[in-house]
Chains A and B, each alone.
Chain A
Amino acid sequence: MNATPTYLPEGLPAPLDEEGVNAPYWNGLRDGVLRVQRCGCGQWQFGGEHLCHRCHAWDPPWVEIEPRGTIYSWERVWHAAHPLLKSRVPYLAVVVELPQAAGLRMLGNLLGDPVQAVTIGAVVEGVFEHHPQHDPPYTLLQWRLC
């Protein structure tokens, strides 16, 4: 796997899935696949949960969905909370809504010019941002305008 430039500098906290509930999500991202939970009762769920909150079935199964959605909300960070980001401001983070998964939402960075105008409702597609040097390796899902 080739190292690709990451949107934010290496060294930020890596995601930790303490209870293992979200392994299908994180493993999927490393393989370039986006998965979310969809219970047998039809309920969509993200992040992963032990239970379906609707029918209380244990461990709702994960299904693959297309990483494509619309910008639901956004923020532009000018004052960094992490020392590694002090020289990397501004940067953009977005909440993306996934219509193909009943409107589930996810959070990520919006790739590209950090001072660009951001429009709620704009269509975005997922970009798999690999962090192969990290031990263990992990992948983040980022977003760019279509």
Chain B
Amino acid sequence: MSQRTLRGRAAIVGVGETVYYKHGQAPVPEFRLALQAILAACADAGIDPHDIDGFAGYSNDRTDPSRLAAALGCRRLRSTTMQWGGGGGGCAAAVGNAAAAIAGGLADCVVVFRALAQGAQGRFGQARPQPTAGAEMAWMAPYGVQSPAQKYAFKVRRFMHEHGVRQEALRAVALASYHHAQRNPRAVMHGRPLDAARYDASRWIVEPFHLYDLCLENDGAAATVLVSAERARELRGKPAYVLGVAAGSDFRTFANPVNAPHYASASFVNVAQEVFRMADLGPSDIGSVQAYENFTGGVVMALAEHGFFRPDAANDFMQPEQLVAPDGRLPLNTSGGNLAECYMHGFELVIEAVRQVRGQSTAQAKRHDTSLVIGGPLVSPVSSLIVGSEDTL
């Protein structure tokens, strides 16, 4: 085989999630949440959990794969991979690591998961008072720049400045996510719609971010199960094939404190090229996008870097009606995403991409043979994943 690619080699054959809870409100421990999601994904796939022989995770997940394998009674444990990097930058990469393990013969049946019970473990958006700040935080924390929103607002502001992007472009992301959440009974914000006036009236967290520009914080777990393409065809469900996956960032993206040469970037210049190259697709072939909203501004930047529009055209493209299923030009975050379905560190986005391809979304895009997952804008590493139906192979 001369071409090095994962295209069509592995497929997601099962998805599962727990009930999504407000942060701190999960009634059971984090490890138990992980087990619930994994069993649900296996049941969805029609796979015996004893057959799992690999686990892939990201964001320093606390749930240890060896403990999972023992708890589930897996007959043997083979591939265990952890994608470096925090936040949701690894949510697509972890699927890629699972697919690579399968394609490379390191495992046959790999679970990719994220489990979060922040109540017991502290929250992301709160700084725990510390006497000193080291590493990258030494440049920021003494100036009151501590939370992720505070760290990344500068990049979004600079992008808005360079390209004349208005607040309404950010708002459109929030409106699309909340719109889709109203159709999704699993969504934490189901029954709690958002309109432009409510967004505009919401308080600033850190300019240019209003309250609704920031992700939720939730408890729960989500999982997918992957097998080889050959095995996938023997199972009962409709597979979502991995068409392309890429992870990483660009030249000195993480040069501290704020010295990335391409500063006003969501870190996807290289990754976006790679994911489309592997998938042998372009932006016009994508039916829907599930884009990680740590902050709405990062979504706008990431969509531009994936080639859906030029940055200077962001105001025109980011119209709420263009971002909603079924008929919008680019249905965005069709389950409600991190803003309104659940902040499962983006793994709910991977599940939604699979549901789109299977035709099982609560907000089905008109075109749903492909869906793109964008993981973790602004951070490093980031990652992207394109899944597709049998017809796209």
Contact = CB atoms under 8 A, between A and B. Distances in A.
A138 B11 CA distance: 55
Contacts of A8: 142-144
A14 B139 CA distance: 10
A107 interface: yes
Contact of A93 (B126, B144, B255, B263): B144
Given A74-B157, A75-B154, A95-B154, A15 B147 contact: no
A127 interface: no
B203 A78 contact: yes
Contact of B132 (A14, A80, A120): A14
A18 interface: yes
Contacts of B47: none
B155 A93 contact: no
Contacts of B258: 72-73, 95, 105-107
Interface in A126-145: 140
A83 B80 CA distance: 39
A81 B127 contact: yes
Contacts of A50: none
A104 interface: yes
B256 to A, nearest CB: 5
A120 B161 contact: yes
B138 A17 contact: yes
Nearest to B140: A107
Contacts of B131: 13-14
Interface string A8-23: 1000111111100010
A82 B127 contact: yes
A18 B143 contact: no
Contact of B154 (A13, A74, A78, A104): A74
Interface stretch (B59-67, B204-212, B271-279, B349-357): B204-212
Nearest to B211: A79
B130 interface: yes
Interface in A43-58: 45-47, 53
B144 A82 contact: yes
Nearest to A48: B256
Given A79-B203, A95-B258, A12 B138 contact: no
Given A46-B259, A73-B154, A74-B157, A13 B142 contact: yes
A107 B144 contact: no
Nearest to A84: B129
Nearest to A72: B158
A77 B133 contact: no
Contacts of A107: 139-140, 143, 145, 154, 257-258
A120 B224 CA distance: 45
12 contacts: A14-B133, A47-B257, A53-B252, A53-B255, A74-B154, A74-B157, A75-B153, A75-B207, A81-B125, A81-B147, A93-B144, A140-B143
